Structure 1
Amino acid sequence: MKHTLYLALVVLLASFTTPKETVTLSGKITNTEDGKIKLRGEGFEKEIKLNADGTFSETFSIDYQGFYLLSTKNNRGGVYLGQGTKLNIAADDKNFSGTLLYTGKGSAENKYMLEKSKIVMAVSNEELYKLDEVPFLKKIADMKTAITAVYKSTKFSDAYFKEKEAQNIAYLEQLQLINYPSYHTHYAKIQDFKASESFPKFDASINLDNEADFLFSNTYKQIVEAKFNEGIASKAGEDAEYIAAFAVPEIKKIKSTAIKNARIQNVAYEVGAGNPNAASLYNELMALSTDTKFKDDLTAKFNKIKTLISGNASPKFEYENFKGGKTTLESLKGKYVYIDVWATWCGPCRREIPSLQKVEEDYHGKNIEFVSLSIDAKKDYDKWRKFVEEKKLGGIQLIADNDWNSKFVTDYAIEGIPRFILIDPNGNIVSADAPRPSDPKLIEKFKELGI
């Protein structure tokens, strides 16, 4: 009995003391905006400060062999980190993809991924998904053949990568099959399109709870997310405003820690100012997650949204006005203020514009101001101005000073756009998550307030 207990203890300790992989990243990235690069993975985040000339060298531990997101303020891309990686990265941030160069241990794997990416990106989503079924399947088969040829001609130094990538190529094909019906509907503009009976079905034998594949493959991650969301959508129905009640029971069934944490993070956006069940959802997600940083961030967000209740003073803003100068929330006191937080790149935001213009027209001259606050990045400043001018956008057009990290945006804990906010004539919150212009509930609210 004693020997059995001792052996169990040894196994238990070993599970907590498995040594992490140590990797070295070095190189030179010039012309960054803030002199930093960030590395993110599942439950992992690291910031590397660049020297004045853009050089850097860091040795650190990683939790798993697989793909991480390497980003500057203006660019991002995947990087594979495996056992004993000593990777040198060189790039000019003003032309990141065009100048990116890998050398050192791990370079063969990352160069392969660049070549694979070029094959995939050679055809735009619009070109690919506009195709009818037969030419679409032919294009996917050609893509798979081209990638396989590069795979076979590459001399990999990492046996784990070589093994996993063979399966990953098959996952890419499966992802395209999943995407085709909805993407073809959008790009071919065929409403209610359904694939034919002969169109290949998703391979139901694929294990959607595979931790190793999830950590290795971004494509597999997308498959897992797509199939999970598909299942939840079928349970929740089209009219469900919140899906957490359907998602959380399914999340509890997931065995993989990384996949479970990822699904938790996806549903955490519903811990928001407009959700009446935000507190109970917060408590449930905190109990389920094992990701310490996520839990810290979610707690900070929850504490913030608790202050965004009706009647509380609204966070303030002072941002550049399209017509010149700056506009403050304070300067709009005496009227209701309906704020649209949006960006030129946001499809759902753009779809709300005609409805917003109609509401603005109907309420012209009444006791309300309409403010559109763009969170476009600084590099898209001219794009924003051109868009406002070409679309003849009305109301008060502002642009935030630091996109998602602008203070007004973080004060309102905004994680997705479009987001609409309604503030009363005294500068107090009416709704931190107001109805969209296309929602009849908005006009009902205006009538209730006597606007």
Structure 2
Amino acid sequence: MKFITAVALFALMLTSCVTKESNYALINGQFIGEKEGKEIHLCKVEHGETAKVAVTTISADGRFGFNYPVDKAGLYVLNVVWDKALRSVKKDHDLKRLYLEDGVELDVKISDGTYELLASNSVKNDVLSEWNTKVDTVFSYSHGFSYNMADYTSFFPLLPKYVDETAAFKAKINTGDANFDELMKLLVETDMNASALTFIYTPRGKHPERKDYAEYYETLLNEKSPQSARLLELPNGYDYVRLYSMFAVMSLPDKPTDWNKAAMENIPNDLLKGYYALNNVSKFRTYDDAYVAYKAMVEPFLSTPYLKDELKAFEMTIRDFEKGSPAFDFAGKDVNGKEHKLSDYKGNLVYIDVWATWCGPCKSQIPALKELEKKYHGQPVTFLSISVDKMKDQQKWKDFVKEENLQGVQLMADKAFASDVAEAYRINAIPRFMLIDMDGNIVSTDAPRPSDEKANELIKKYL
């Protein structure tokens, strides 16, 4: 994640407040408390979690600020962080939440554990600030013994009151912006539900049996499943997906044989299923049968480029690609835009040529490659060439394929040397030739070139 260091940008804060620029959101802040070794992070909500996008220091008189270019309106969080250890000070339960969009101007006062909106030109932030203050009491109970040592005998009797207050607050949200109002209502609901679940899963002096649970937990189980993809716009959105799925599985009468499958079955939204699937791959340490089975189960729900790319990136960390191991199933598109995967050709030997139109040594192998293709015509051998040309040269690649009458399967990778095939097989120089056996396992990730007789011998050996 790229982020902005605000030290230079806000040097004027040492003597004055930050001045407004057009198309920016402006935050003028005052920090109260010990300032030594601390900095302020501005974090953006992405994929149901927060990610740092800007950093500023705290001046001697406690001032800080951000003049941030907002590409899309949404929720942000201010975090106080010890700059040396980069350890968040979490006494405020991440409740320094803001709604930023072009033109917003906010004056705030914060400490390690408090947040106060002093002035605002945004009714949306007025509403959000009011809710932040109201829900802070609930979070103090729910978010663990670091904040409140109370056990369920203290918290459960208060739940009906908190639930009623949540419903009343939701009912009065009406800023005139339907998009924000929908998001704010979802935040209010999610805060309440996540708090109830967080409480039962954090360390306490005394934990309840299921028979001791407050009535609200049955309502939560039966009526509050994570259904809206807009949960991914909330700082605690994914956390609620995780908490709810865990609660739902633990509420089943019988222990499931496959926890993750059961958890995903209790997440109604397919996109949220994909995020659950991605966030649970970290339990795998090796590329084994268990991982392959898990991947096959979850791939239908990895419906966005982000989810697909993140799974590929993780897979790179557990793959060695030694001889005999399953080949990485890369993909590319042909001249007509149709996607092909390596696995589409399982049952054939696959001789792979990674190349580019700008690569002289690559093009010098084309005559020998054509001869090799003729030699094995009609036999179960697929010759698959995948170009790592840049996308701006896609038409050049298409023209070259046509002009040179290239045969076999001709594909183009999507991100040149940053594409999955190049990253998976650690390709930083071309041409690179590889051979995959009929079962989809690696024979060689550095096979002989077509001009070398050893290439022919290797193919014959595995036919």
What TM-score do the two structures reach when normalised by structure 1? Answer: 0.45
Structure of higher CA gyration radius: 2
What TM-score do the two structures reach when normalised by structure 2? Answer: 0.44
Q: Which has the higher helix share?
A: 1
